[in-house]
């Protein structure tokens, strides 16, 4: 039996990853590919939130911090790749010239390396989250207070980036980015190569997240998420488990932000704003916060709908989206994933019922 259960749990993930990786063989329109790659990046951000919120009960309203840090890390690298063309002055990015800087700040230097930027996009968000988490979770802060603190953290980070105009580009952010290049491959955001990068990152982190949640650590986190400190009395250090989940989630958000900056070819403080962070909560809720895949699908569907609705109903699409959110929260508390699960359970229940009926005679024979 065990093999069947775990295979059944992995199957939707494998199907989904196969499906998103197959898209470029069907779709060749570069604009569509670019749009899909963007949805996948946002899907990854929603999956990251599901990991901390759905599994561990940590409602992070500041998911934009990790997302934005990842975006800026990549944007800094891509900016350094372009600046000589635009400014010509010792390779200094244009906005630094406008802000009267005469040399590149020390913390910009390592971003000449693409590998460093990648590592920073993954690790920096995790580091910030671990630090904040250490203070929060050591102090046994939970529930709505976590939401408030993470929201405050988001506001602070956003203000810091807007304020430090000479180093971050201020309100404009970092614009006019080059294409990312690694191993001789150039990731033009309208190319299949970039789509594969986006889909590959999403597939990798979905699988990683799946494995993580199936591990015993994932089980302990689910126990913590149910809102008791009972695990402490079995010797589990609750705070380090929460820090772990919080950091992993921030890391995933960082990668999502990195892809998002690459696909839009800019990074701006709106990436670490309240609207996008709260949108992630909506995506995860619609898709089902208890499932990484559900949250991902939720993000893709909501953004897809948003894309088509905002074209037809210029002003009212947010109303329609709000109504959709309320309907889902009221009628499908576990989101689309919950709906799929209960449908699946009903189907397999019927199948099992049939199996039991056909097995019954032989069971009777055995008993005799």
Partner 1 sequence: MSYLELHGLEVSFDGFKAVNGLDLSVERGELRCLLGANGAGKSTTLDLICGRTQPTGGRILLDEHDITYDPEYRRARRGVGRKFQVPSVFKELSVRENLEIARSRHPEPWCTLRAFPGRRLSPRVAEVVEIVGLEDALDTRAGHLSHGQTQWLEIAMLLVQDSALILMDEPTAGMTIQETGKTSAIFQRLRGRHTLIVVEHDMGFVREIAETITVLHQGRRLSEGPIRVIENDPKVREAYLGSGGISHA
Binding site for partner 1 (CB under 8 A): 1-2, 5, 212, 214-217, 219-220, 222-223, 225-226, 228-238, 240-241, 244
Indicate the residue among 240 and 316 with the shorter CB distance to partner 1: 240
Indicate the residue among 106 and 233 with the shorter CB distance to partner 1: 233
Indicate the residue among 181 and 237 with the shorter CB distance to partner 1: 237
CB of 216 to partner 1, least distance (A): 4
Indicate the residue among 58 and 300 with the shorter CB distance to partner 1: 58
User: Which residue has 């950091």 as its token pair?
Assistant: 247
CB of 222 to partner 1, least distance (A): 7
CB of 301 to partner 1, least distance (A): 26
Indicate the residue among 308 and 342 with the shorter CB distance to partner 1: 342
Q: What is the DSSP letter of 27?
A: -
CB of 35 to partner 1, least distance (A): 36
CB of 325 to partner 1, least distance (A): 24
CB of 217 to partner 1, least distance (A): 4
Residue 206 contacts residue 292 (beta carbons within 8 Å): yes
CB of 151 to partner 1, least distance (A): 26
CB of 109 to partner 1, least distance (A): 34
Indicate the residue among 31 and 233 with the shorter CB distance to partner 1: 233
- For residue 181, list its beta bridge partners: 186
Indicate the residue among 126 and 302 with the shorter CB distance to partner 1: 126
Indicate the residue among 90 and 356 with the shorter CB distance to partner 1: 356
């Amino acid at each position: 039996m065990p093999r069947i259960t775990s295979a059944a749990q992995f199957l939707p993930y494998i199907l989904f990853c196969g499906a998103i990786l197959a898209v470029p063989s069907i779709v060749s329109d570069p604009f569509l590919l670019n749009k899909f790659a963007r949805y996948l990046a946002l899907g990854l951000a929603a999956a990251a939130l599901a990991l901390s919120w759905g599994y561990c009960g940590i409602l992070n309203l500041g998911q934009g911090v990790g997302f934005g840090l990842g975006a800026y890390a990549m944007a800094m690298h891509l900016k350094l790749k372009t600046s000589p063309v635009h400014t010509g002055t010792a390779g200094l990015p244009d906005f630094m010239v406008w802000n009267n800087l005469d040399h590149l700040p020390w913390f910009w230097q390592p971003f000449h390396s693409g590998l460093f930027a990648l590592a920073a996009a993954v690790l920096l968000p995790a580091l910030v989250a671990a630090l904040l988490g250490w203070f929060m979770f050591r102090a046994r802060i939970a529930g709505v207070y976590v939401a408030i603190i993470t929201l405050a953290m988001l506001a602070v980070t956003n203000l810091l980036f807007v304020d430090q105009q000479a180093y971050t580009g201020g309100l404009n952010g970092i614009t006019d980015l080059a294409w990312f290049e690694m191993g001789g491959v150039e990731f033009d955001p309208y190319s299949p190569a970039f789509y594969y990068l986006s889909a590959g990152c999403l597939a990798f982190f979905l699988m990683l997240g799946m494995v993580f949640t199936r591990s015993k650590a994932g089980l302990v986190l689910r126990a913590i998420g149910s809102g008791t400190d009972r695990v402490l009395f079995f010797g589990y250090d609750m705070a380090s488990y929460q820090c772990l989940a919080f950091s992993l989630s921030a890391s995933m958000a960082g990668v999502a932000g990195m892809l998002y900056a690459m696909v839009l070819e800019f990074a701006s403080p709106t990436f670490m704003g309240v609207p996008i962070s709260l949108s992630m909560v909506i995506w995860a809720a619609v898709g089902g916060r208890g499932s990484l895949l559900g949250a991902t699908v939720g993000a893709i569907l909501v953004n897809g709908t948003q894309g088509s609705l905002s074209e037809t109903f210029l002003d009212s699409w947010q109303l329609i989206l709000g109504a959709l959110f309320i309907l889902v929260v009221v009628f499908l508390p576990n989101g689309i994933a919950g709906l799929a699960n209960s449908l699946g359970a009903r189907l397999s229940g019927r199948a099992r019922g049939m199996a039991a009926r056909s097995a019954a005679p032989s069971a009777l024979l055995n008993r005799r």
